Structure formats: structure tokens, C-alpha cells
């Protein structure tokens, strides 16, 4: 059950990141459900790229990786190397989200609604990954 929930969350995260990647490619303002210009301020900041790659594209890669790992974990539930690798991957996504949220709060001084949603998803995936590590072998 946990692995299926992780898969569903990864698909939601993929849609959020994909939406932001699409919006980043347009010259228009990003549609923010809570109003304001936070998403545009974040997009136009010096921190909207990491190692030359737009952050939403990194999110797409991350969530695709999580989805693939969730499928593999269902197919190979007893593979400890895969479980530990998945946990480390989930941890890296969480830590990167914390870093980006820190930048929003203390450096950029603006919040992007979609970025916060992605950070929440990454946090939930990390919490669920503990269940994977603890030999949760049900599909």
C-alpha cells in the first residue's frame, strides 16, 4: 500500500513540476491559485536554476525517478539495495526542497505556491520511505 501511495504522490508531483516547467517556458505570469506574484518572483530570481537547469525540470526528473522506483519496489519488494537507494533518493529530494524553501523564505522573500506543494509532496514521500525501509512488503 505504501509503495502505491508513493507512486500516486510521484504522479501528482510530476504534474506540479511539469506545470511549472511549462509555465517557466512562457513569457506570461504564472497562475498562482492563492494570488500574488510569488511564483513570478521566484521564477525571475537568481535561484530559479540549479547548475544551469531550471528547477522545475529537476522536479520532473525527481518525480519520474520516484515513480520508477515505486514500480520497481512493487516488483522487487525484498531488494534491500533498492530500498536503501530509494530512501536516499527520497532524502535528497526532501533536502533540496528544504534548501529551496529556505531560499524562498530568507533570500528571495517570496513564496511560490506550486513550489510549496512540491516540497510537501517530497516530505510525504520521505516519511513514507521509512515504511519501505522497515520491510513493508505489501503491495
pLDDT digits (tens, 9 = 90+) for 57-104: 999 999 999 999 999 988 887 788 899 999 999 999 999 999 999 999
Structure confidence at residue 138 (pLDDT): 46
Each domain of the chain, given as residue ranges in start order, spans 2-133
DSSP string for residues in the chain:
-HHHHHHHHHHHHHHHHHHHHHHHTSSSPP--TT-SSHHHHHHTSTTSEETTEEHHHHHHHHHHHHHHHHHHHHH-TT-HHHHHHHHHHHHHHHHHHHHHHHIIIIII----HHHHHHHHHHHHHHHHHHHHHTT----
Give the pLDDT confidence score for residue 135 in this predicted structure. 63
pLDDT score, position 1: 86
In the CATH scheme, what is the code of domain 2-133?
1.20.1440.130
Q: Residue 80 has what pLDDT?
A: 86
Cβ(121)–Cβ(9) under 8 Å? yes
134 or 2, higher pLDDT: 2
C-alpha 70/C-alpha 8 separation (Å) is 9
If phi over 0 gives left and psi between -120 and 50 gives alpha, with beta otherwise, what is residue 31? beta
- pTM for the model: 0.92
How confident is the model over 7-57, as pLDDT tens digits?
999 999 999 999 999 999 999 999 888 878 899 999 999 999 999 999 999
For residue 131, pLDDT over 80 is answered with yes
Distance between CA atoms of residues 51 and 1, nearest Å: 36
Residue 123 grid coordinates: 516530505
Taking the C-alpha atoms of residue 135 and residue 113, their distance in angstroms, rounded to an integer, is 34
Amino acid at each position: 500500500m505504501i509503495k502505491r501511495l508513493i507512486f500516486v504522490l510521484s504522479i501528482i508531483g510530476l504534474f506540479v513540476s511539469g506545470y511549472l516547467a511549462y509555465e517557466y517556458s512562457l513569457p506570461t505570469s504564472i497562475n498562482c491559485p492563492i494570488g500574488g506574484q510569488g511564483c513570478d518572483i521566484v521564477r525571475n530570481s537568481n535561484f530559479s536554476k540549479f547548475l544551469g537547469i531550471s528547477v522545475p525540470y529537476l522536479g520532473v526528473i525527481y518525480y519520474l525517478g520516484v515513480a520508477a522506483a515505486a514500480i520497481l519496489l512493487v516488483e522487487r519488494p525484498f531488494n534491500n539495495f533498492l530500498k536503501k537507494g530509494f530512501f536516499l533518493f527520497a532524502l535528497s529530494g526532501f533536502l533540496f526542497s528544504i534548501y529551496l524553501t529556505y531560499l524562498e523564505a530568507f533570500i528571495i522573500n517570496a513564496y511560490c505556491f506550486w513550489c510549496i506543494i512540491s516540497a510537501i509532496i517530497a516530505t510525504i514521500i520521505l516519511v513514507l520511505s521509512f515504511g519501505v525501509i522497515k520491510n513493508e512488503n505489501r503491495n
